[in-house]
């Protein structure tokens, strides 16, 4: 049994203002990785840029990261990290460290860019962790309550050509510092708030499902699930409420701490193709199969689930009813082509080795078919 999180996490309102001076330990040239909108809308840049300027830290903003970041955008990030904006190639490194701002996509992209740049990797080698010998320091500032990436060593990328979404992990990718401030989630709308919370819920539950589960994780799992169960509807009805936002952010951070130890399992593996093929948000892809996955695991981890629901003060049936009230819908049709192509992909995924029992191909097919079949 072990517990290991090398990330220094500051949590709460205004932590960047209060503790941001620590960023200067990592150099004087920052490479900011973000999406087109999240860093601006969340208010992070309004706080961060004056802070960097006050510490004479120069910065480049690379804002080309989209949802489910494509490996090609990581390559462009690597080039921008190492090359002056005029396009003149420089000896590595042109920047000292990375500040990743956003939901899971920019955070995961920041980690991948760090690894790719530090080891001068080509795209084809991004999943080859044997080649990942070093990394540039990563500082994470999440703007959603879902990913938990600010507390993990994982990066999940997509290949837009093959439509395969897959992750990799390396202790080098744990952020050195994370500034987790719930006020950065106040601008999120209903669906992003709901779907990201469901992603966090998946991470917490997968801590119980994984064969790498250990008892250190139980307090985080139980408290995190309870926080989501008790705060999600309230937050959806009052999106600007900082208390609910605080509680969901805490649960999301707990989810990250949990999967840093347990990794994710079938729940995430089965959800990835629903995102790459049908365009479901990551959280929704996990959510639409959440009940079926729990039913599949229950006989193998019954005691853990019973302990969880006893802590939350509900039964499994009440939990299922609560999931139904969130109206997580899959409106596509699962056809034979999807089943034939994507089931082997799920079966081969890295996370499948972490199931505490043998998941059969038919288990996966059954879950997909139940979502809605066109024959
Ligand atoms: Fe996730």
Question: Which of 156, 185, 214 is where one domain is finished?
Answer: 185
Do both 213 and 109 map to the same domain?
no
Alpha carbon of 315 to ligand 1 centroid (Å): 24
With a CB cutoff of 8 Å and minimum separation 6, the contacts of 36 are: 63, 64, 66
Do both 272 and 363 map to the same domain?
yes
Alpha carbon of 199 to ligand 1 centroid (Å): 5
- Is residue 310 domain-resident? yes
- Is residue 3 domain-resident? no
- Is residue 135 domain-resident? yes
Q: What is the pLDDT of residues 32-44, one digit of tens each?
A: 999 998 889 999 9
Do both 17 and 131 map to the same domain?
yes
Q: Write down the pLDDT at residue 315.
A: 97
Q: What is the pLDDT of residues 133-166, one digit of tens each?
A: 999 999 999 999 999 999 999 999 988 888 788 8
CATH code of the domain in which 299 resides: 1.20.1090.10
Instruction: Tell whether pTM > 0.85.
Output: yes
Q: Write down the pLDDT at residue 93.
A: 66
Question: Which of 163, 185, 207 is where one domain is finished?
Answer: 185
Do both 59 and 90 map to the same domain?
yes
Q: Using alpha carbons only, give the angle 291, 296, 302 rounded to the nearest 5 degrees.
A: 95
- Is residue 328 domain-resident? yes
Do both 42 and 180 map to the same domain?
yes
Do both 194 and 150 map to the same domain?
no
Question: Which of 168, 185, 202 is where one domain is finished?
Answer: 185
Alpha carbon of 55 to ligand 1 centroid (Å): 34
Alpha carbon of 109 to ligand 1 centroid (Å): 14
Do both 264 and 171 map to the same domain?
no
- Is residue 2 domain-resident? no
In which domain, by residue range, is 206 found? 190-374
Do both 129 and 278 map to the same domain?
no
Do both 200 and 269 map to the same domain?
yes
- Is residue 66 domain-resident? yes
Which range is least confidently modeled, 8-17, 99-108, 205-214, 343-352? 343-352
CA–chain centroid gap for 229, Å, is 19
Alpha carbon of 193 to ligand 1 centroid (Å): 14
Alpha carbon of 201 to ligand 1 centroid (Å): 9
Alpha carbon of 87 to ligand 1 centroid (Å): 35
- When divided into structural domains, the chain yields a total of 2
Alpha carbon of 283 to ligand 1 centroid (Å): 7
Do both 144 and 47 map to the same domain?
yes
CATH code of the domain in which 170 resides: 3.40.50.1970
Do both 218 and 161 map to the same domain?
no
pLDDT band at 94 (very low <50, low <70, confident <90, very high): confident
pLDDT band at 84 (very low <50, low <70, confident <90, very high): low
Q: How far apart are CA 137 and CA 63, in angstroms?
A: 19
Alpha carbon of 47 to ligand 1 centroid (Å): 27
pLDDT band at 350 (very low <50, low <70, confident <90, very high): confident
pLDDT band at 85 (very low <50, low <70, confident <90, very high): very low
Alpha carbon of 32 to ligand 1 centroid (Å): 23
Q: Write down the pLDDT at residue 285.
A: 96
How many CB atoms neighbour CB 340 within 10 A? 10
Do both 200 and 344 map to the same domain?
yes
């Amino acid at each position: 049994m072990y517990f290991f999180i090398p990330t220094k996490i500051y949590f709460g309102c205004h932590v960047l203002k209060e503790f941001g001076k620590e960023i200067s330990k990592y150099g004087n040239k920052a490479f900011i990785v973000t999406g087109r909108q999240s860093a601006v809308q969340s208010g992070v840049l309004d706080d961060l840029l004056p802070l960097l300027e006050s510490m004479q830290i120069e910065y480049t903003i690379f804002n080309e990261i989209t949802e489910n970041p494509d490996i090609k955008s990581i390559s462009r990030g690597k080039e921008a990290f190492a090359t002056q904006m005029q396009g003149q190639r420089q000896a590595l490194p042109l920047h000292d460290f990375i500040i990743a701002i956003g939901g899971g996509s920019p955070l995961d992209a920041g980690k991948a860019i760090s690894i790719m740049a530090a080891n001068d990797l080509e795209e084809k080698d991004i999943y080859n962790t044997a080649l990942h010998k070093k990394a540039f320091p990563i500082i994470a500032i999440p703007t959603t309550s879902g990913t938990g990436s600010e507390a993990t060593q994982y990066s999940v990328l997509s290949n837009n050509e093959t439509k395969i979404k897959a992750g990799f992990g390396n202790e080098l990718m744990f952020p050195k510092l994370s500034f987790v401030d719930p006020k950065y989630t106040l601008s999120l709308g209903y669906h992003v708030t709901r779907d990201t919370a469901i992603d966090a819920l998946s991470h917490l539950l997968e801590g119980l499902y994984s064969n790498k589960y250990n008892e250190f994780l139980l307090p985080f799992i139980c408290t995190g699930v309870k926080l989501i169960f008790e705060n999600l509807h309230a937050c959806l009805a009052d999106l600007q409420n900082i208390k609910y936002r605080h509680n969901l952010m805490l649960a999301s951070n707990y989810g990250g701490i949990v999967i840093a130890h347990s990794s994710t399992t079938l729940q995430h593996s089965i959800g990835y193709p629903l995102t790459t093929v049908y365009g479901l948000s990551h959280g929704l892809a996990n959510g639409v199969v959440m009940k079926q996955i729990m039913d599949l695991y229950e006989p193998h981890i019954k005691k853990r689930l019973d302990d969880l629901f006893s802590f939350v003060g509900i039964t499994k049936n009440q939990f299922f009813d609560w999931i139904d009230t969130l109206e997580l819908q899959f409106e596509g049709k699962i056809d034979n082509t999807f089943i034939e192509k994507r089931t082997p992909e799920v079966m081969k995924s890295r996370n499948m080795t972490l199931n505490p029992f043998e998941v059969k191909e038919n288990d996966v097919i059954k879950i997909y078919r139940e979502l809605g079949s066109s024959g």
